[in-house]
A and B are shown apart, each in its own frame.
Chain A
Amino acid sequence: MTNTAPAHTAASSNRKWAIGFTTVVAFFFLLNKFVLPEASGQVQKFFNAWFSLTSMAEIMIWILMALGLNIIVGYAGLLDLGYVAFWALGGYVAGWLMSPFLSSFQINFFGNARAGLEQGIHFHVFLVLILGGVFTAIWGIIIGGPTLRLKSDYLALVTLGFGEIIPQFMLNGADIGGLNVTNGSQGIGGLDDVNLFGYVIGTFALPEKFLMVSLMAGAMIFFSIRLRDGRLGRAWLAIREDELAASMMGVPLWRTKFYSYAIGAVGGGIGGVGFAILVGGVYADRFNFVISIIILAMVVLGGMGNVWGVVVGATVLAWINSIGLIQVGELVNNSFGTDINFPSYQFLLFGLLLVLMMLFRREGFIPEARIRMVMNEEKTEDLDKVSDETKIASN
């Protein structure tokens, strides 16, 4: 009875959240696919302003990213300040493998090249997703391998550098020994449309694209939960709580941290591919340090380690970022006749939010179940008190 109770509640709470997530996704998909095109201009305007599907799809990418970083920061307790590098790397994999850009090749492997643009590499989207994950995992290995033997502060520094170097490389990679690797600041555009079993998702088929990235985010949620509840998740948690004790239990420290770094990187890579498909290209100037920090803020605000907390954190911050500030600003300006440029206060607001959270709700919007339970449970002190008294007496 008591033995199964916590597991049972965890499972049922997961189910509730999963149903909620699915409902929201289904609602916005059906709304935009079938209802809005027929709806009155007023209704269309409202939804396009407050819940534009482009932004909703981007939120799904942010969720993917935040969950990937959550594996590194939330599960294993390693600080990564350059997660944007994985986003960029994943994006360029999509740019290289499903566009006419690498025109010295002409490879079509179940790809969907546009008519007249058959040069370049055109792989099937599933293959690109896998290769994007593998490619970023390799970079995770290159960075994490040597660094994870150091104390975690050094990892933070190295990742910070990595997060700067990769985007800079992409920005300046138009001429590397005469080779155009990244097309520099122009980026790589004109990605192939996704072809799923004969069903082509066109460039402007937003509802379908939204559904696609939502499915990716959903899969990431699923894997995150499975990972957390498995043997590896337990080992990560042990390391996060007490590295020395974990080692004494036989948890191989370096290898376990290394897995978290590599698996977290895969999340970033797949998110990068998804984002590139979503916007139809990959552009270097989008990948800056601020992105790393925003993703980190999503994880921290949502509740480090809690999958659904991070989903909420990512949704809220991404929504504020892309829609909330503009819309709320307009509302305020229109109602009070003011002329305040709200989006320019974005970082003031973020800073304020972080400070307030650290003051009043340090464990995040939705704290990880373990932390919540420890905070609420009463400590059994029956025997300790006696021992404290005897200590005082014997001194």
Chain B
Amino acid sequence: MARLNTPAMLKINDITVGYGAITAVKGLTLEVREGEIVSLIGSNGAGKSTTLRTVSGLLKPKSGNIEFLGEKIDGIAGHEIVAKGICHSPEGRRIFPKMTVDENLDLGAYLRKDSAAVKETRDHVLQLFPRLQERINQKAGTMSGGEQQMLAVGRALMGNPKLLILDEPSMGLAPVLVDLIFETIEEIRKSGVTILLVEQNALAALRIADYAYVLESGHLKLEGDGSKLADDPAIAQAYLGG
């Protein structure tokens, strides 16, 4: 698939991010356009999650800036970024284990006041993941990994995001479930949500993406149309274990 010709939604301009003395991301520039699925791939420690956390306001860039719909968002608090329309399904799911599925979904809509609209989103989420409907009153911590992942994605959707960030949604899941998650990601995009996807499962992430960025030890290594990168033998060798 190729890059869409829509206006940019998220622009990361030359950011450098680090933890203390360690620099995890150096001079990264990337762009997500409206309606796209953009994948960010790379091996462990390449700086993918750091980048996402910076976008979500959990980390502050040391230099560079981030724009969302033309507005600078680096340095503002995490909950304000959610309010602007960026929802994050974090790595490792991080659902609230002692709350029910229902309560988890409710929290996803924490900042939304319009209960009729929240109900609509909720119906949409339960339609995407019928499994969640079955388990609606179960404690989230007692569900299987796949179900928890569905909940993590569903919970992020409850915030009615313009941009949905998915951090390793296929991690630790059975192949059947991985396929299901990726199909759902396509479906979410069709409903009008732009998606920034981070994956170690590079091949699947490239196939689904309109555009992809490849990170290596904090640097941008490569970028290009998802399908083109998926067929690139160099990529295959480096990241796809081919």
Contacts and interface: CB of A to CB of B under 8 A. Distances in A.
Given A241-B97, A241-B99, A370-B98, A250 B145 contact: no
B36 interface: no
A248 B177 contact: no
B33 interface: no
A384 to B, nearest CB: 5
Nearest to A373: B139
A378 B142 contact: yes
Contact of A370 (B82, B99, B143, B156): B99
| Most B CB within 10 A of own CB, among A234, A241, A371, A378 | A241
A231 B109 CA distance: 11
A383 B108 CA distance: 25
B111 A377 contact: no
A383 B175 CA distance: 10
Interface string A211-242: 00000000000000000000100110110011
Contact of A374 (B56, B141, B174, B175): B141
A386 interface: yes
B99 A252 contact: no
Interface string A353-395: 0000000000000000011011001111111101100110000
Nearest to B170: A387
Given A249-B82, A249-B108, A382 B96 contact: no
Interface string B126-146: 000000000011110111111
A175 B31 CA distance: 66
A250 B138 CA distance: 23
A387 B145 contact: yes
A247 interface: yes
Given A241-B98, A387-B177, A253 B78 contact: yes
Contact of A387 (B100, B111, B172): B172
B136 A3 contact: yes
Given A6-B100, A241-B96, A370-B98, A248 B56 contact: yes
B169 interface: no
Given A241-B99, A383-B146, 17 more contacts: A3-B137, A235-B107, A237-B98, A241-B96, A245-B96, A247-B58, A247-B79, A249-B107, A250-B82, A250-B110, A253-B77, A370-B99, A377-B138, A381-B144, A383-B173, A384-B145, A387-B146
Interface of A: 2-3, 5-6, 231, 234-235, 237-238, 241-242, 244-253, 370-371, 373-374, 377-384, 386-387, 390-391
A-B complex: 8 closest residue pairs judged by Cβ atoms: A250-B82, A247-B78, A250-B111, A245-B94, A387-B174, A370-B98, A386-B174, A252-B79
